[in-house]
Copies of this chain bind each other. A is one copy, B any other.
C-alpha cells in the first residue's frame, strides 16, 4: 500500500486535479495573464477563478505580479513559473491522449509543433541517450523509498 503523500502522481493531482485548474493553466501558458481575460476566455465564475489562481500561486505554478493602469486601482496578473512551464509536458500528454481516445468530431483544435522547422511533435518516453523508448519497453520500478 502506497500512502497518497508518498506518490508523486497523487501529489501532482492535489495541485492539478481540481476542475478548472488545468484549463486555467492552459490559458496562462497561452499568454493570458489578467483576471478579466481568464474570465472572458473560460466563462468561469469569479469566486472559482480566484480560488484556482490562488491554488496555482501557492503551488508555485503561477506567480502574481502587481500592475496598475492609469486611473484604475492596483491589480495583479498571473504568469507561469519554471515549474508551470514544465507542465507543458503533462498538458501535451493529456491533449495527445484526449485527441486519440476521446476525439471531438471536428478534430484536434490545438496541435504541438516545433518552433524551428514546424515539425509535428508527440509526447513520449526518452532515455538518457536521447532515444525514444516504445511504451511496451517502459518499466515503472519501485525504489527503496517505496513504502512497505
Residues of A within 8 A of B (CB): 1-2, 4-17, 19, 22-23, 26, 29-30, 40-43, 59-61, 83, 85-102, 104, 106-117, 119-133, 135-143, 145-147
A87 to B135, CA, bound (A): 10
Q: In the complex, are the beta carbons of A23 and B7 less than 8 A apart?
A: yes
Q: How often does this chain occur in the complex, in copies?
A: 2
Chain A interface SS verdict (over half):
mixed
Known: A26-B9, A123-B125. A43 touches B1 (CB 8 A): yes
Given A12-B97, A109-B146, A121-B133, 15 additional A-B pairs, CB 8 A: A8-B102, A11-B98, A61-B101, A86-B100, A86-B101, A92-B125, A92-B140, A111-B141, A112-B140, A114-B127, A114-B139, A115-B138, A117-B127, A123-B126, A130-B131
Measured between beta carbons, the chain B residues less than 8 angstroms from A143 are 107-111
> Cα distance A90–B89 when bound, in Å?
9
Q: In the complex, what distance in Å separates the CA atom of A94 from the CA atom of B13?
A: 8
Least CB distance, A86 to chain B, in whole angstroms: 6
Choose one: B9, B60, B128, B139; the contact of A23 (CB below 8 Å).
B9
Q: Which of B10, B92, B102, B125 contacts A121 (CB 8 A)?
A: B125
Partner of A124, one of B7, B23, B26, B124: B124
Which of B40, B107, B117, B141 is the one whose CB lies under 8 Å from A1? B40
